[in-house]
Structures are given as C-alpha cells and as structure tokens.
Structure 1
Amino acid sequence: MRLTDLPDVNFTDPNKDVVESQVITIYERVIGRKLADGDPVRLFILAMTYIIILLLQKIDTDAKMNLLKYSKGSYLEHLGALVGVHRNTADKAVATVRFTLSEIRPTNVVIPEGTRVTSSDGKLFSTTALNLIKAGSPHGDFRCLALEAGIGSNGIELGELNQLVDPIPYVSQVSNITKTVGGTNIEDDESYRERIHEAPESFSVAGPTGAYMYWAKTASEDVGDVRVTSPTPGT
C-alpha cells in the first residue's frame, strides 16, 4: 500500500468554535450562570481557550511525527533508524582540472593538496591530494572537489574553472577539462520517507522487485525513480 492511500488521522480536534463552546459550557455548568458576551470572565476564558487550541495543535502535530506518513525532519530520521535506513547526505561536485606550466621544468612541480581554483562566479574547488606535474611535462590533470556540497556546483562547463586562488610557482593557467558533476543536496523528506516505506523489501535475499527499487534509490540522491524489469523469468 502506498503511504498516500492511508487514511488521514487526527489525534485532537483543535476546532476554535468547538473548543470555545465546550469550555464556556463547562464553566457555566459549574458556576450555574450564563456569561454575557461582554462579561470579563468570558473574555478571560476566550483568552485561555486560545492557549488550549495551541496545545491541541501541538499534541496533534507531535503525535503525527510518530507516523511515517506525516513525520519529517529529525523525527523522520528516528523512524528510519528503526529499519536501518539513513538519510542520504549531500555530496560535492567533482571535476578534473588541468594545471599548465609557464614553461616545461626539469624537476617535478608540486601541486599541494587543497590548492583552490574558482570560476568567475565564485564556485570554489580544491585538489584532493598532493599532486606532481612530472619533470618534462607541460601540465598535469588532477581531481578537484567543490568546497561546498550540493547541486549548485554542478554543470560548470569546460574551461570555466580558470582562476587559480592559491598561486603556485611556474603554474600559469588552470582549466577544468571535464564538466563538474556529482553534487547532490541532502535527501529531502519525501524521498527519504519513501525509502523507509520500501525498506522491508530489502530484507529479502530472493531478489524481489521492491528490493531492486530500494537499493537503486539508496545509491544516490540523483536517482529520481526506478523501474525494474527482467528479460526472462527468474533472471
């Protein structure tokens, strides 16, 4: 069953008119007199009723956080932990950047780990390891990661990472020779909720369709949806 097919539930009824009527009726029954519209006691009760309504709304919201259909944020992560499903974290975009020398050197040129390059719009990337441009080579191609995770650093075209932030002797030019890819945002509640709902499918080792769908969606936040087919029965 899909989560959207489940009936809606409410743990309280914070209807303003109903609550006000109930509170005033109880008070009048206890005191034994009717309250006029302008009675100070009635006005005080209406003020207290507002607080009661807020509490009822909070009780309803907090109770729903225990149900997969309504849960969100850190509450949803607690439900996911019960079935071993954790929210996919944000990933950083990656690219290959070419460091070009002003002239060929007879010795190796060191490109320190963490050397930063940037685009004209300020998207920063840095090298992920200590690299060397070998002696006699005019350039070296090295892996660089975005400094910030998320999709915002994806799609930087070839040659747009062309500014060296941290100067290195003999390096005259930098340029990405691959388009930046792989950056993802932290998994949103809806996608995470669906994976928690599908998690029991993953417990089987018999290869059910649901298990393939679950593990494919778990692989990356880039996966939007999955369809499973088999070319022949049992295969």
Structure 2
Amino acid sequence: MVRWPTKDELTQKFVEYLIGPNKTIDDLQNQWVAKHLILGLREAVYMLVVVLKFVYDNITAVTATGEKLDELGEEYGVERKAASKAIYSVTIGKSSAVTSDTPVPDNFLVTTTPIGNDPPIQYRVIPRQAKVIPYGRTSVDEVLVECTEFGERGNVPEGAINLVAQAGFDFVSNAVVYRAGTNIEEDEVYRQRILDRKRNPGKGGTAHDYKTWAESVNGVVSALVIPLNRGNGTVDIVITGVNGIPDQVVIEECQSFIETKTPAGMADGGVKVLAPTPITINVTLENTIWTAGYSVETGSQFVQSALIDYIERQANKDRVVRVVDLLTTAKQAYNPQDPSKKPVLVDFSMSVPEANKFLANTEMAVVGQITIT
C-alpha cells in the first residue's frame, strides 16, 4: 500500500535539502525568508499529495480492471474469488447384481444428455473415494463426481447427469448438488468488495467484518449479519449462494472460515452461518395478448426469464416482492435477440400473487410456479 508523506515529513525533507542533514525547522529561527519559503513550498506540495491520494484512493479502485484491480484488492487484503468446479453426488450401478465387490474407478466419466448442438457436460468421479458396489447389489450411492469445466456451466438441474460415458457400468442416476460451481468473480462484484473494505477497515469483529469474511468464501454471493439474533454474545450470518439457497458444503466452509476469525472470548456456537429460509413466490398470468409474431408458446419463456430475474435479484435486494413490480416486469419483458427490445406482451391479468410479500431478515424469495395462459 502506498504511504503518503505527512506535512511534518515534507517539512523535514525540505529543510534537509536546503541546509543539510540532521537539521530541523527550528534551526531557521533567524532565517525568516528561508523558513517561510520552506513552509510555503510544503503547503503547495502537500496539496498535491492530497490530490494524488484522492485520485489513488477514490478513482483508481473505481476504474481499474483485470490484473490492476487484483493488485489493488491485494493491498487491502481482499482477494478475487477464483472459479470452481461443480460437484454432484450420484448413484452409479449395473443392470444386474454384481458377483463380487466392484469398485468405481477414479475419474470414471459420466455426462448429461446432449441437447441440440450443445455437447454434453462431463463429470468425473473424484479420486480416492473408494466407492464399491457390494457383492449382490446393483449400485452404490453418494459417489461424488466433479465437472471437467470450471464455472457455473456445470450447475445442471438435479437428475440431469444421466449417461455413462465409458464401459464398466450401466447407469448413473439420482444426481444432486453437493457443491455448486462458480465463475471467477466479476470485476464489478470484486470492486465493490474492495471499496467496502476501504470504507470499513477491519476492526476485529464488527458486523461489517463478519460480512467481509463471509463474502470472501468461494460460493458465497452475499451475507447478511444479524448481531444478537440469539441473545447476547451471538452473531448470525445469513448467506446466499450461486443458486440462491447455498448448498450445505458452502455453509460448512463459511462456518469453518469464520471460526478462524472469531475474536477471543466469543462463546462456542456464538457465531452461526445459516441459509435463508426460502419463501416460494408463485406467479399466474392469464388472458394474455401477445405482440405480433409471439404466442403463449413462443413468448412465455421471455416473460418467465424476466420474472425469475426480478424475484431472485431485485425483490431479494429490496426485501419485498411487489405486485406492481411483477406487473411492470411482465409488461416490459422482451426477446434479448430483438434489438428494438419491444415487449412481447400486449395485455394480461395477474391473479397470483394478490398482495406484496415482505421478507424477514432470514428469508429469501425463490421462484415457485410461473403459469402463463
């Protein structure tokens, strides 16, 4: 981190340059012109230092990108979160009972079903799990497989990993998320964490410290700190993940990391990392009239996408799902491929929800059933 000189340090430097080392401004009591020249020069240079410091502190971090932003983040102890691979728990098996214990090989390949021209997403069995189909059984559960690609591309719907891609086993099923994959942290999100840290330097256990620590954990998108939620000496931290509600592995990793930062004297169990309570938001649009070229079959996907984005992002940020916002979002939904951004809906009525839904601190709006007719 850059160390900016103080007025006294500038004064001392100018004195040494003008009259030699080991001298101070007090040695110029009888040299009125030289003394005031030094003080005037000091003031002018210090104003320049103030301007440079302002530029460095308030503009550089705001405008920097890429590696430069990484360098600034490191100066404030805020590292960019790296991309990670999605991990799923699956069942792997054979069509008939095995006649001897049959181990599942490390790096065994399973995939999703290809859709159209998109290739399947590949996953490999994580090494050293020692998973075995026991004699007389047809399958083994809770085999962890890791996507071969980094990022959120590996976050597929549960059950979507359903093809065995090499010989030795006949099926893979029951795929459930163990740990969601993450993209490398985007500049704007990373920049905000850096600026937050600059505005709120670490103080060893404030609410903002807990927020900073939690949001530094890979897989944590945001954190809400609730001091005294369970009484004196307690701090609850509600986190969200890549898919909204975080998976258990991310919760545990965040809890473990926070415990390494917890100030001395905090009681065991005083700090608790929690997932938000999901609040399902259903939306029903009826009597739809569509823009020319669209119908309920071709236009619904764009309306659904806009409503999902509003519920998952804006509503949770505002802590309320507003009926008027749902109406406005649906009315303004458009096809992203249309450069004119013309709304696909002309008119409709909304029967669900009937009223605004306010969210408590520990609640999170999640998309339920979106029905468009």
- CA distance in structure 2 between the aligned counterparts of 1:120 and 1:107, rounded to whole angstroms: 30
Matches within 5 A, 1:1-235: 67-121=60-114, 122-130=120-128, 131-141=131-141, 142-158=143-159, 160-168=160-168, 171-179=169-177, 182-199=180-197, 201=200, 203-205=202-204, 207-223=205-221, 225-230=222-227, 231=229, 232=231, 235=234
Q: TM-score, normalised by structure 2?
A: 0.41
Label 1:75 to 1:157 Cα distance change in 2 as closer, same or farther (>3 A).
same
Q: Supply the AA of the counterpart residue of 2:162.
A: N
Aligned counterparts of 2:157 and 2:65: Cα–Cα separation in 1: 33
* Displacement of 1:109: 1.1
1:196 is displaced (CA, Å) by 1.8
2:111–2:161 CA contact under 8 A, matched in 1? yes
Q: Give the partner amino acid of 1:134.
A: P
Amino acid of the structure 2 residue aligned with 1:228: V
Query: 2:272: which partner in 1?
Result: none
Backbone CA RMSD of aligned residues: 2.5
Runs of 4+ in structure 1 off by over 6 angstroms are 63-66
Q: What secondary structure, in the 3-state scheme, does the structure 1 residue paired with 2:224 have? A: coil
The one-letter code of the counterpart of 2:184 is I
Letter in 2 for 1:124: Q
Specify the code of the residue in structure 2 equivalent to 1:151: E
Q: CA deviation at 1:64?
A: 10
Q: Distance in 1 between matches of 2:181 and 2:122?
A: 13
Q: Residue 38 of structure 1 aligns with which residue?
A: none
**Contact preservation (8 Å) 1:94, 1:181:** yes
Q: How many residues are aligned here?
A: 168
Question: How many angstroms apart in 1 are the aligned matches of 2:109 and 2:58?
Answer: 43
Deviation at 1:74, TM superposition (A): 0.6
Q: Deviations over 1:107-149 (max 9, x none)?
A: 1112211111011120111100253222222201200011101
More strand per residue: 1 or 2? 2
Identity percentage of aligned residues: 27
Cα gap change, 1:105 to 1:226, in 2 (>3 Å):
closer
Q: Residue 221 and residue 105 in structure 1: after superposition, are their counterparts in 2 closer, same or farther (change >3 A)?
A: closer
SS in 1 for 2:69: helix
| Other-structure match for 1:56 | none
Give TM-score, length-normalised by structure 1.
0.64
Q: How much does 1:203 deviate?
A: 3.0
- Give, in angstroms, the shift of residue 202 of structure 1: 6.1
- Match of 1:162, SS state, is strand
Q: Secondary structure at the match of 1:204?
A: coil
Whole-angstrom CA distance in 2 between matches of 1:180 and 1:153 = 12
Task: Give 1:233 deviation, angstroms.
Answer: 6.1
- Against the structure 1 CA distance between its residues 234 and 180, is the aligned structure 2 distance closer, same or farther, given a 3 Å change threshold? closer
Distance 1:139 1:83 in 2: 50
> Secondary structure of the residue that 2:225 maps to in structure 1?
coil
Q: Check conservation: 2:98, 2:133, Cα contact below 8 A.
A: no
- 1:164 & 1:65 partners in 2: Cα distance? 53
Paired residues of 1:108 and 1:132 also in contact (CA < 8 A)? yes
The 8 Å contact of residues 97 and 174 in structure 1, kept in 2 or not, is answered as: yes
Distance 2:144 2:58 in 1: 42
CA-CA distance at 1:176 after TM superposition: 3.4
Contact (CA 8 Å) 1:100, 1:174: kept in 2 or not? yes
- State the 1:101 CA deviation: 1.5
State the Cα distance separating 1:190 from its structure 2 match. 1.3
Give, in whole Å, the separation in 1 of the partners of 2:219 and 2:62: 20
For residues 82 and 148 of structure 2, the distance between their equivalents in structure 1, rounded to whole angstroms, comes to 15
User: Which one has more relative contact order, counting CA pairs under 8 Å at least 6 apart?
Assistant: 1
| Deviation, structure 1 residue 66 | 7.6
Asked if structure 1 preserves the Cα contact closer than 8 Å seen for 2:83 and 2:150, the reply is yes
Query: What letter corresponds to residue 203 of structure 1 in structure 2?
Result: G
Over 3 Å counting, the alpha-carbon distance change for 1:203 and 1:64 in structure 2 is: closer
